[in-house]
Amino acid sequence: MKFSKVIVGAGALVFLHAANSQDLDNSKLPKLNEIKPIEVPSEYEPGVDPLLHGWAVSLVYRDAETSDKTRPTVIKEDGYQLGVGFRIGEDWFGRLTAEFADQKVDSQPLQFPIDLKSDNETDNYTVLLGHSFNPVFSVAGFYGQGKGTGVYDFPGGGPVAGASDSDSDRYGLIGTVSLPFGKALTSTSLTYLHSEADQTFPPGNLPPTDSFEVDVFSLGSSLIYPLGDGFSAIGNLAFNHIGSQKVAAGSTSPDENWFSGGVGLSYQINANADVRLSHQRWIGNSTTAYRTTGLELVYRF
């Protein structure tokens, strides 16, 4: 059951090209990344501007729900993400993110109908470094780690002694082409993600440990269109494909192909700050239903 969450989180990472600017959200828990088109650095003057410049800080609150279509499982989650983006010299850019989430799970993970509930907490950290070759094309790589802990309870049977601990690693590449189209800014990205996780279960569980591993490819486009009076509309659509995977014991193999889409609205408060509301969901996935809604505040200095 735990590793169905990992694949949802892995799928979230393929949205590094979508919806908003300089916001990288990576986690092994189910989150649909609301990642924005990579911003091209502005003109840099060596000796005048500091090496690190163009700072942007973002705070995101996100509510998500995942349901397994192959067995009774519903995962509800809320979490916060803090991100710091910056430019390095003329052509490089970077971003650091930290995310903290709480998760409530109602499921029947066994082959017979016994309900199981769990409460989980996770911490995830990610670093991204990219290079803009010109005002149109950029490439970025990212690496992240996550840790989680959870406690289990069979309703009517009492809590399971001990906690379940997990560790995850992920890395990947993003190639992005950004082009203006009339008043709109469009971005098309090809993303590769590798994600893997190891988990130790409470004493008495069989097996006592397990692992999961997946490679995901995504091709998607996003659009930001100004509406006037400081408002902008945001939309994105992507096709996602699992290239290879190792599924944990007792887990159902996830759908290998599906679409993801989302819409949002951004409001520019002033020259330095804006607030964004967005909604994302998976489309045409035969094994998993997923949706997330996020509220983000961005400040640049």
In the predicted model, is pLDDT for residue 144 greater than 50? yes
pLDDT tens, 162-218? 678 889 999 999 999 999 988 999 999 999 999 998 888 777 676 777 888 899 999
What is the reported pLDDT for 162?
65
What is the reported pLDDT for 153?
77
- Over pLDDT 70: what percentage of the chain? 77
pLDDT, greater one: 97 or 149:
97
Look at the chain and report how many structural domains it folds into: 1
Task: Show the beta-strand stretches assigned E in the chain.
Answer: 52-68, 73-88, 92-107, 116-132, 137-154, 158-159, 164-181, 184-200, 209-228, 231-246, 257-268, 273-283, 288-300
Quote the CA–CA distance of 175 and 37 in Å, as a whole number: 10
Which residues, at least 6 apart from 44, have a Cβ–Cβ distance to it below 8 Å? 53, 87, 89, 90
What is the reported pLDDT for 70?
82
What amino acid occupies position 168? S
What is the reported pLDDT for 33?
37
Give the chain's mean pLDDT.
Answer: 82
pLDDT, mean of residues 148-163: 73
Q: For residue 12, what is the enclosing H or E element?
A: helix 2-13
Q: Which residues pair with 192 in a beta bridge?
A: 173, 217
| Three-state DSSP state, 10 | helix
Which of the four pLDDT bands, split at 50, 70 and 90, describes residue 157? low
Full domain range(s) for residue 234: 2-300
What is the reported pLDDT for 229?
94
What is the reported pLDDT for 14?
37
Query: The tokens of 245 are what?
Result: 């995977």
Q: Which of 75, 61, 60, 70 is nearest to 8 (CA)?
A: 75
Block residue for tokens 């149109």: 136
pLDDT tens, 225-275? 999 999 999 999 999 999 988 876 656 677 899 999 999 999 999 999 999
| CATH code of 213's domain | 2.40.128.130
pLDDT tens, 18-74? 333 333 333 333 333 333 333 444 566 776 779 999 999 999 999 999 988 887 788
pLDDT, mean of residues 84-106: 93
